């Protein structure tokens, strides 16, 4: 399994208007490189993305004072949001199995 791309830093991350303007399905992942929960979730995220290859994937580094995470009320990492055309459809916090992710998004 290939490693997922690194988190976008605060200077690289899109702003809320950019996210709201996204078209199609996007998996927006908030977390950090050093977070143990985030590292543990990477195989789960990779498998979910492999099963949904049409999803865009944005990994955004989150933390205190990071406006994008606060605008989505992110409080725990990793937080995964499924967006359609920039609108939140589903949310999964700290997934432990790929089925956690797929079940949450099945109704979206």
pLDDT for residue 102: 87
Residue 87 domain-assigned?
yes
pTM for this predicted structure: 0.91
Q: Are the beta carbons of 45 and 29 closer than 8 angstroms?
A: yes
The length of the chain in residues reads 108
Longest CA span, the chain = 34
Number of domains, the chain: 1
Residue 1 belongs to a domain: no
User: CA 37 to CA 23: how far, in whole Å?
Assistant: 29
CATH number, domain of 99, equals 3.40.30.10
Question: What tens digit of pLDDT does each residue of 45-61 get?
Answer: 999 999 888 889 999 99
Q: How confident is the model at residue 108 (pLDDT cuts 50, 70, 90)?
A: low
Host domain of residue 63: 16-106
Q: Does pLDDT of 81 surpass 60?
A: yes
Average pLDDT of the chain is 92
**Predicted confidence (pLDDT) at residue 30 exceeds the cutoff of 90:** yes
């Amino acid at each position: 399994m290939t490693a997922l791309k690194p988190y976008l830093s605060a200077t690289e991350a899109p702003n809320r208007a950019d996210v709201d303007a996204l078209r199609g399905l996007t998996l927006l992942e908030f977390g950090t490189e050093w977070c143990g929960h985030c590292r543990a979730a990477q195989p789960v995220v990779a498998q979910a993305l492999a099963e949904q290859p049409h999803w865009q994937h944005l990994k955004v580094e989150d933390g205190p004072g990071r406006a994008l995470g606060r605008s989505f009320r992110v409080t725990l990492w990793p937080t995964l949001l499924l967006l359609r055309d920039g609108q939140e459809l589903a949310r999964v916090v700290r997934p432990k199995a790929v089925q956690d992710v797929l079940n949450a998004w099945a109704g979206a």
